[in-house]
Structure 1
């Protein structure tokens, strides 16, 4: 029996990540090879011509799963009836801009888009925020879309998760599929499953690769552009896996002593479209310090964002 199409919104669709993401969705990478989709693409008026070009390419490609395309600069039209929203659009920090200036711009964007989703999206819409600062943008969206359950709002940390997997697989010459995550990884070897930290007994290497942002900077240096392809692929992974153990930026309930009320990256398992935080993992001193520093930074960012609402 044919399935009804799922309406998927991509904001910032004419940008680099959007351009990489929409064909993946149309091809079934995000929702599977049997799920028809209708793409809703939103961008700002100056990008209208480029957005129409993306639509023309989607039509040219004749994706069998793609049952319709809405390309618009109107936020209400874009949000109407959507089941999944991937929020790629945001205001990037430019040279000479203060942090609060960037936050003010993004608060305005996410307040407007959240309000439109609140009024016009389908019931039980799931939202993934990609645009940085993703954690805080997701928090602002939650504030202005109160009828969307907090369990349905998350931000993208799967890119760093995937980068960690890739770096470990490269270091150990194993397949990414041979282990689930970095710090609690077991790697399948001819002698059986071994802890990754035992196979790479190099604390300096782990410390250097714990922060995957360096990979993003290296890609920008090599391409002269940001990592659009891997970000788009990670967004598809995030939605598709929303029973595996993955990383998602979700609303904190106080687990692992992370202050409640922040959007924070946790290890989660997903089943039937619902995520649950994995509990009881041991946290070493190095990771604890990194986690606390991240929580402190996010709390400061939250305070700054809320001050922009005043």
Structure 2
């Protein structure tokens, strides 16, 4: 076996962390023959629960699991990590203003960026899950300059997978045969789930479904609001599907996307034509392919006027979030 890959999960005692850790240990993230050392981080009030998670991982006797670091010390957790999955964050509670939530998360991610900067391996790949995911990732990237900009991403694979699932249900085509949907922009209700370039069972999705009104209306709203619908149904947020999507995101990033297939990732926009006109420096979700641990934005897609307007609207929200974060940081 190769040397173990050190994988950090923050918020590890929470629902997503609890679902994610066993998936990593079974090889769903890095592959069935890649050993791992798990670095589990949570806040001091969750320390006892964190110990319980570590105990269960030991009891499960995963052959790939070569060690566990369970800690409430961010520096200890970040030491020597190769992959960092940033699940922990301050959740929005009843009556809380967006700016208040962002202020708390700006502080958290600024601090965690410093710890990664100092203690993680130089080529560490970072995936931010906690909301607002795009802006949290941007903050982290800005305050961990030793980590290459392209190595900091945010999770829109959950939205991407939701889009694939909706198309599969509508067409009856197995989800494995639905390809190349796109999530443009923010992991929020302004995101644009785009099927214009995707296929289902080898046919263009629009042809396979044959209902443009559905695809331009109900489909988009369903994907945008899926998280809220799951909270309404189970009184808890999406944990299982989020954890599975984290594994998909990292697996494809590290091991490569299948030929002829692209996926959605939140990445720092390079600006210009290569970024479909999205402003440089925004953490924006694009269709990407991955080879040798590096992502590339899919080029040459035709963007119609309707899509352009939706892509611009979600970019405008991200610009607003970025400005708000910068204002909060300046006031610290």
* TM-score, shorter chain, exceeding 0.5: yes
Equivalent residues in 2 for 1:241-280, closer than 5 Å: 241-242=252-253, 243-244=256-257, 245-254=262-271, 255-280=275-300
Structure 1 residue corresponding to 2:304, chosen from 254, 270, 284: 284
How far the C-alpha of 1:286 sits from its partner, in A, is 2.6
Equivalent residues in 2 for 1:99-178, closer than 5 Å: 99-178=98-177
Query: What do the CA deviations read for 1:166-207 (whole angstroms, capped 9, x no partner)?
Result: 00011000111113123211222xxxx321111222223112
How far the C-alpha of 1:208 sits from its partner, in A, is 1.9
Unmatched 5+ residue regions in structure 1?
none
| SS in structure 2 at match of 1:76 | helix
- Note if contact 2:158-2:242 (Cα within 8 Å) is conserved in structure 1: yes
Pairing 1:230–2:241 present: yes
Tell me the equivalent position of 2:48.
Answer: 49
CA–CA distance in structure 2, aligned partners of residues 45 and 100 of structure 1? 25
Tell me the equivalent position of 1:23.
Answer: 22
| SS in structure 1 at match of 2:94 | coil
Taking structure 2 as the reference length, the TM-score comes to 0.90
CA–CA distance in structure 2, aligned partners of residues 22 and 195 of structure 1? 37
Query: What do the CA deviations read for 1:7-65 (whole angstroms, capped 9, x no partner)?
Result: 00000000111110011001110000110000000000000011111001101100000
Tell me the equivalent position of 1:196.
Answer: 205
| SS in structure 1 at match of 2:3 | coil
Query: What do the CA deviations read for 1:235-266 (whole angstroms, capped 9, x no partner)?
Result: 00000000321100000012111111100000
Query: What is the aligned length?
Result: 305
Query: What do the CA deviations read for 1:82-132 (whole angstroms, capped 9, x no partner)?
Result: 000000000111112222211110011001100000000012000000000
Equivalent residues in 2 for 1:67-82, closer than 5 Å: 67-82=66-81
CA–CA distance in structure 2, aligned partners of residues 286 and 163 of structure 1? 21
Pairing 1:240–2:257 present: no
| SS in structure 2 at match of 1:54 | helix
Tell me the equivalent position of 2:214.
Answer: 205
Runs ≥4 residues deviating over 6 A: none
| SS in structure 1 at match of 2:47 | helix
CA–CA distance in structure 1, aligned partners of residues 88 and 108 of structure 2? 9
RMSD: 1.0
CA–CA distance in structure 2, aligned partners of residues 195 and 114 of structure 1? 42
Tell me the equivalent position of 1:185.
Answer: 198
- Note if contact 2:167-2:200 (Cα within 8 Å) is conserved in structure 1: no
CA–CA distance in structure 1, aligned partners of residues 240 and 305 of structure 2? 34
Tell me the equivalent position of 2:93.
Answer: 94
Tell me the equivalent position of 1:7.
Answer: 6
- Note if contact 2:167-2:178 (Cα within 8 Å) is conserved in structure 1: no
Taking structure 1 as the reference length, the TM-score comes to 0.96
CA–CA distance in structure 1, aligned partners of residues 199 and 321 of structure 2? 35
